[in-house]
Copies of this chain bind each other. A is one copy, B any other.
Amino acid sequence: MSVAAIQRVELDTGFWADRIRINRERTIPHGLDQLRDAGNLDNLRLAAGAAGEYRAPDSLPFLDSDVYKWLEAVGWELARKPDHDLASAADDVIGLIAAAQRPDGYLNSYVQVVGGGVPYRDLSWGHELYCLGHLIQAAVAWHRALGDDRLLTIAIRAAGHVPDGIIDGHPNIEMALVELGRVTGDRRHLTMALRMLDLRGRGTLAGAARFGAAYWQDHELVRDARSVAGHAVRQLYLDCGAVDVAVELGDDRLLAAVRHRWDDMVRTRTYLTGGLGSRHRDEAFGDPYELPPDRAYAETCAAIAGVMLAWRLLLATGDACYADAIERTMFNGVLPGISLDGTRFFYTNPLQRRTRRAPGGTEQRRPWYPCACCPPNLMRMLSSWPRYLATYDDSGVQLHQYASADITSGPVRLRVHTGYPWDGRVTVHFVETPAKPWTLSLRVPRWCRSATLTGPDGTHAVGAGVTKRHRRWQPGDVVELNLEMPARITEPDPRIDAVRGCVAVERGPLVYCIESADAPRRTEIEELTWDPGGALTPVPRPDVAESVVGVDVPMTGGLTAGAIPYLAWANRGEGGMRVWIPYEPVIRAAARWSRGRSAAA
């Protein structure tokens, strides 16, 4: 049963409002500075005819896309609230893009300046359609949020330049084309997206020797593949496009193929944090249950793409499992990608950082990256986050994510109050409501073992999944959902080899971790083992950030370590961290075997 997003969701206080405010006030201006400093804007100037040298670290050809993602974020922000400086900066950037576009509609600064002006020559590595996809997404955002069609005009002309029968090594264009078709009503964009999907898995892209065809999603037909494979972001963006096409065409078989891959991915290749992609070498999904915590790649962009895909599946099906995944991934997979102050970013998101490490690692957040896909992806994700909270259909309104917010859907206006994710009480006030009966649906997260719903008809225990209340609502009605959130121990699936003999601490939707800063005096976190005989104790942690609830975790030897939410890690120095905490191994041993202990050799 498909549902539709509610566009008018306004957050003013609480966890997510704070995050969105930091994104607006700190991260997006920081992003503009970085785009200027890194040369992304100058590159567009060169394409528009200015003189100078093109800047592309490591010859990366996709720097335009970072500009488009930044613009998409700015579009959402200007719609939320006008801002003269931001609008003016965006106007300049849009002007640059317009000036860079060729008379024939083609637009890609790298190809125009460095690549001899010959389009689509290196579809495997070139990222031309990938960049175009991000341009289209920014254009659609500006059209939808602001009714501003400057970017849309550019995007339509650029899309019109793309010949039939080609695909890109990095999927992204597919979902963008569907959106462009929705906005313009021009079915040709949808047809092209469908054709691009159907061309994959036929060996179209050359040069697969290095990482194999799965690297650019050309290893298997989109309709046939039973599991995710290859470069994680590419796989997930591709599946976003597949869902979009399936929904537009009512193609149930295509939708079922994506759902099957998603189920398999969540079961076998998803980190506890919602992180996706376990291999550094080719940024790829690994074997089933290959989920190393220390060498987790778990690219921030992959977590974002995971949210985008789960959201599309939620809209297509209404199934709460996708909202559960969005919650887990946003809190624990996406947010750790950005520092609490909003100006430093992780590209990879390991679940363990050793106190002592090899030189030259990638374990610190940085202000920017040579390949800077993640930072502006975070910006657009956070800017558009309010639209992920609630949906509607003919039966009523569905609340999927909990934040203090005003939600308006047609004649319904709800006011939600909550201290989520620190507190599990969610109060929904009915501010405006039509006279006829309708259904309010509330998600009870799968992590919750005990929940109650209090409404006009009293208090009732509710189980995980979706709980619904159908009635003739009155303005002034109040519904209160109470999600108990004791700190809890989570054991890994025994097939995950890399974290055998460990447990994790969770509370509510949050995954916790132990950092060096919170290890008992004179111990390193690598020396700690969990004591199953002790109790987990939630404690306020204002030292980490306002409102944060930590969990004191009992360790053997009478020690205690203060776990903090993983989303707040790496904001207090460069020490070690671990999500999965070992417990002392016990072998039920008959001493019949000769026993040795070997470090290695």
Residues of A within 8 A of B (CB): 57-58, 209-215, 219-220, 229-230, 266-272, 274, 279-281, 284-295, 324-325, 328-329, 352, 354, 356-361, 370, 447, 449, 486-504, 506, 526, 532-536, 582-590, 592-601
Say yes or no: A600 contacts B212, CB within 8 Å.
no
Say yes or no: A601 contacts B266, CB within 8 Å.
yes
Say yes or no: B587 contacts A583, CB within 8 Å.
yes
Say yes or no: B489 contacts A599, CB within 8 Å.
no
Given A532-B587, A601-B329, the answer on whether A354 and B288 have CB atoms closer than 8 Å is yes
Say yes or no: A359 contacts B212, CB within 8 Å.
yes
**Cross-chain pairs A/B with CB under 8 angstroms, 6 sampled:** A269-B600, A270-B601, A287-B358, A488-B595, A491-B598, A535-B593
**Which residue from chain B places its CB closest to the CB of A495 in the assembled complex?**
B526
Given contacts A229-B360, A498-B498, A584-B588, 18 further A-B contacts (CB under 8 A): A58-B210, A212-B360, A266-B599, A271-B600, A287-B354, A291-B600, A294-B497, A325-B601, A487-B593, A489-B595, A490-B596, A493-B597, A496-B599, A500-B582, A501-B501, A533-B592, A536-B593, A586-B586
Q: Return the contact of A287 from the options B267, B285, B294 (Cβ within 8 A).
A: B294
Contacts of A498 in B (CB 8 A): 292, 294, 497-498
Q: Return the contact of A292 from the options B213, B292, B495, B590 (Cβ within 8 A).
A: B292
**Which residue from chain B places its CB closest to the CB of A593 in the assembled complex?**
B489
Say yes or no: A599 contacts B267, CB within 8 Å.
yes
Say yes or no: A592 contacts B535, CB within 8 Å.
yes
Report the separation of the CA atoms of residues A168 and B496 in the bound assembly, to the nearest whole angstrom.
41
Contacts of A292 in B (CB 8 A): 292, 295, 498
Say yes or no: A279 contacts B294, CB within 8 Å.
no
Report the separation of the CA atoms of residues A215 and B360 in the bound assembly, to the nearest whole angstrom.
9
Nearest Cβ on chain B to A73's Cβ, whole angstroms: 26
Point out which of A211, A284, A489, A598 has the most chain B C-beta atoms below 10 A from its C-beta.
A598
Report the separation of the CA atoms of residues A288 and B582 in the bound assembly, to the nearest whole angstrom.
17
The 8 A-B residue pairs whose C-beta atoms are closest, nearest first, are A212-B360, A501-B501, A270-B600, A493-B599, A488-B594, A500-B501, A280-B281, A586-B586
Point out which of A357, A492, A496, A599 has the most chain B C-beta atoms below 10 A from its C-beta.
A599
**Which residue from chain B places its CB closest to the CB of A489 in the assembled complex?**
B593
Contacts of A493 in B (CB 8 A): 597-600
Say yes or no: A359 contacts B229, CB within 8 Å.
yes
Given A535-B592, A600-B271, the answer on whether A219 and B58 have CB atoms closer than 8 Å is no
Nearest Cβ on chain B to A402's Cβ, whole angstroms: 18
Contacts of A487 in B (CB 8 A): 593-594
Say yes or no: A209 contacts B58, CB within 8 Å.
yes
Report the separation of the CA atoms of residues A488 and B591 in the bound assembly, to the nearest whole angstrom.
11
Nearest Cβ on chain B to A174's Cβ, whole angstroms: 21
Contacts of A281 in B (CB 8 A): 280-281
Contacts of A270 in B (CB 8 A): 599-601
Report the separation of the CA atoms of residues A531 and B274 in the bound assembly, to the nearest whole angstrom.
34
